[in-house]
A = this chain, B = another copy of it.
Amino acid sequence: MVVRGLGVPGISQITANQKRKDYIMKDIRYAPIGVFDSGVGGLTVAREIMRQIPNEKIVYFGDTARVPYGSKSKETIIRFSRQIVHFLRTKDVKAVVIACNTASALALETLQPELDIPIIGVVAPGAKVAAETTRNGKIGVIATESTIESRLYTRVIQEHNPQAQVFGKPCPLFVPLVEEGWIKDPVTVEVASRYLEPLLATGIDTLVMGCTHYPLLRSVLREIMGEKVTLVNPAYETARELKCLLTREGIANDGQEVPEQQAGHRFYVSDAANKFRQFANTILPFGVDTTQLIHIEDY
């Protein structure tokens, strides 16, 4: 981990400390961003970060041994997320992005006060944009069971827009359908119609795709919801938010120095590294050479 502000200041030490601080600040700027998800879905967030902030290097962790998170309890998701943050810190990350909606909804609030580096999730950026986008104040959120139950999207949307009405709908079959590769399949259209009908009936004009897999179903969702409903992709908003945060904190990589060991992005998983690499190569704009397997429960 990169430590800021080491040492006890004294009059004779000011210059030395200033130098050290400069050095450390430089270090932090060139440190990578930790990004994690329950599996492969968070790669869509990583891709957005790479696109919007190309100077930054990413250390990605996918918890493929314990995926999915969407039906599991808050306590368990906090425990898993804490282990992952511990692991990412061993890679000297300067900030953490929770690229998983469920972990953002269930674990972020608990983990934030435990950390001395910035940590953001995907829920707040997506919720903020939805609150600003709606014209009639009616917003739909589709997500996993645990994300919907947490009511975090509702809470954040109403912080920005107290008059907004939020309609949540868990869509547990979407992730398995995407993973089966039935992206534009009639079965998927039928399932999506079933899930979305109650949302359509409420007259929403904005729909948050509150799970990293759902943007892959964008064309089916668009077909069912019609052209008048705005689809919000939290992955896009999160990359924007991260860019602002890095600049605000003075820790953005200015592209002047990329230490050799951080020349590329790095990928870690808790299971089936080869399978992950194949999937990553279909999502990311470059080939992933190696993916390293780790025992996440040891962290």
How far apart are A102's CB and chain B's nearest CB, in angstroms? 13
Q: In the complex, what's the smallest C-beta–C-beta distance from A73 to chain B, in angstroms?
A: 5
**A272 proximal to B (CB < 8 A):** yes
Residues of chain B within 8 A of A272, CB atoms compared:
72-73, 76
**Is A227 at the interface (CB under 8 A from chain B)?**
no
- Candidates B65, B72, B194; contact of A271 at CB < 8 Å: B72
Number of interface residues of A (CB under 8 A): 24
Considering only residues 139-185 of chain A, those with a C-beta below 8 Å from chain B are: 172-173, 176-177, 179-180
> Which residues of B are found within 8 Å of A190, using beta-carbon distances?
186-187, 190
Q: Does A64 contact B (CB under 8 A)?
A: yes
The reply to whether B76 and A72 contact each other, CB–CB distance below 8 Å, is no
- Asked if A135 is at the interface of the complex by the 8 Å CB criterion, the answer is no
| B residues less than 8 Å from A66 (CB atoms) | 65-66
Secondary structure dominating the interface of A: helix
From the candidates B72, B187, B194, B271, name the one contacting A73 in the complex (CB within 8 A).
B271
Q: Does A297 contact B (CB under 8 A)?
A: yes
Q: Does A191 contact B (CB under 8 A)?
A: yes
Question: Bound state CA distance, A186 and B193, in angstroms?
Answer: 13
Assembly CA distance A210 to B297 (angstroms)? 30
Shortest A170–chain B CB gap in Å is 10
The residues of B that contact A270 with a CB separation of less than 8 Å are: 76
Do A187 and B177 contact each other (CB < 8 Å), given the known contacts A72-B271, A271-B73? no
Q: Are A176 and B172 within 8 A (Cβ)?
A: yes
Q: Does the CB pair B191–A187 fall under 8 Å? A: yes
Q: How far is the CB of A280 from chain B (nearest CB, A)?
A: 16
The 9 A-B residue pairs whose C-beta atoms are closest, nearest first, are: A297-B297, A176-B176, A76-B271, A73-B272, A66-B66, A65-B76, A73-B271, A72-B271, A173-B176
Q: Give A contacts to B, CB under 8 Å.
A: 64-66, 71-73, 75-76, 172-173, 176-177, 179-180, 186-187, 190-191, 194, 270-272, 275, 297
If A65-B72, A173-B180 are given as contacts, then 5 extra A-B residue pairs at C-beta distance below 8 Å, sorted by A number, are A65-B76, A66-B66, A73-B271, A75-B271, A186-B190
